[in-house]
């Protein structure tokens, strides 16, 4: 058994460039290009213990395809196929089958390695997959009761400044600064606006709201937001339940007077927001739409909704 801290389990092996090595041997040279300039792409993928005790990876193919797309956007020639990376994820979990009793969080990452330096350098692409047991990203209490969010002073970058369809390492400095600002101010998470002042997304999550008329809204993909796989999942679940979602821009004060707000993301899963900028959202607790999404989502990832079985890849 290994751990990154006294309370977090991690795999005792890492997949690096096609080979498994011990966790403590997972080193990269200090001259790794991505360390200096941020050119890398990554994914966060969850595997869940299903209701029958098996381990299943949620929407593995979609995550790996987005990794490949992100690399393509960045002119990074991936040394492995999507199928090879999918199998590497599964094999890593097979080697740790007894360790992750509560499921696991997978982190595939690809980046420009060491060699030449400078912005024009083109070095071999390295690929790594790690896994650990990462609980609720914004806390179990946050999942149950909701969190406090702050509209950040940092703006989500324009679509000609960052590549919004890519999950690109260097772009997350914007999110880190926003998150740090929020946490230092006593909040749990940051909400970023776009350059026109419309709500974009949180530092690492997509956002949904329900207004006083019961209309569910989420920013459109024409906004500078990540095309979240959990976002896509929630849109599908809501549509299948007969609920309509407007993919439309809206302002921060629409959040203030909304009845419900929740974040979606692989790490955050479905996290309610009970307060924005010191203004209580609705009744200050998860509302009926949020609870429906949470309940349905967790049933799906645990294999209790057969109609969505194709989203699960069993280890």
217 among known catalytic residues:
no
How many other CB atoms sit within 10 Å of the CB of residue 30?
8
In SS3 terms, the chain reads as CEECCCCCEECCEEEECCEEEEHHHCCCCCCCHHHHHCCEEECCEEEEECCCCCEEEECHHHHHHHHHHHHHHCCCCCCCCHHHHHHHHHHHHHHCCCCCCCCEEEEEEEEECCCCCCCCCCCCEEEEEEEECCCCCCCHHHHHHCEEEEEEEEECCCCCCCCCCCCEHHHHHHHHHHHHHHHHCCCCEEEEECCCCEEEEECCCEEEEECCCCCEEECCCCCCCCCCHHHHHHHHHHHHCCCCEEECCCEHHHHHCCCEEEEEECCCEEEEEEEECCEECCCCCCCHHHHHHHHHHHHHHCCCCHHHHHHEEEC
Residue 214, phi-psi category: left (phi > 0), alpha (psi -120 to 50), beta (remainder): left
Catalytic residue among 141, 150, 167, 179: 167
Of 243, 245, 250, give the one whose Cα is nearest residue 231. Answer: 245
Max Cα-Cα span within the chain: 58
Active site (catalytic) residues: 167
């Amino acid at each position: 058994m290994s751990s990154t801290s006294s309370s977090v389990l991690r795999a005792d092996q890492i997949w690096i460039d096609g080979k498994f090595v011990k966790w403590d041997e997972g080193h990269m040279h200090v001259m790794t290009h991505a360390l200096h300039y941020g050119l890398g792409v990554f994914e966060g993928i969850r595997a869940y213990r299903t209701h029958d005790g098996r381990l299943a990876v949620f929407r593995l193919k979609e995550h790996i395809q987005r990794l490949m797309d992100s690399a393509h956007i960045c002119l990074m020639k991936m040394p492995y196929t999507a199928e090879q990376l999918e199998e590497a994820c599964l094999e890593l979990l097979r080697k740790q089958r007894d360790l992750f009793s509560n499921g696991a969080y997978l982190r595939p990452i690809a980046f420009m390695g060491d060699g030449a330096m400078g912005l024009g350098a083109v070095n071999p692409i390295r690929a790594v997959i790690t896994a650990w047991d990462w609980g609720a990203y914004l806390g179990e209490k946050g999942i149950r009761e909701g969190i406090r969010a702050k509209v950040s002073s940092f703006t989500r970058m324009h679509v000609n400044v960052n590549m919004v369809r890519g999950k690109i390492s260097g772009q997350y400095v914007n999110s880190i600064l926003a998150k740090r600002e929020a946490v230092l101010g006593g909040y749990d998470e940051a909400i970023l606006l776009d350059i026109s002042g419309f709500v974009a997304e949180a530092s690492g999550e997509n956002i949904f709201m329900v207004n006083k008329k019961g209309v569910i809204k989420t920013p459109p993909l024409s906004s500078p937001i990540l095309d979240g796989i959990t976002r896509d999942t929630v849109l599908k679940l809501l549509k299948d339940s007969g609920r309509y979602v407007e993919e439309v821009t809206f302002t921060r004060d629409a959040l203030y007077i909304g009845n419900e707000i929740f974040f979606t993301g692989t790490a955050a899963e479905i996290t309610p927001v009970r307060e924005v900028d010191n203004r209580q959202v609705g009744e200050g607790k998860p509302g009926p739409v949020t609870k429906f999404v949470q309940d349905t989502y967790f049933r799906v990832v645990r294999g209790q909704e057969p109609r969505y079985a194709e989203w699960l890849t069993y280890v």
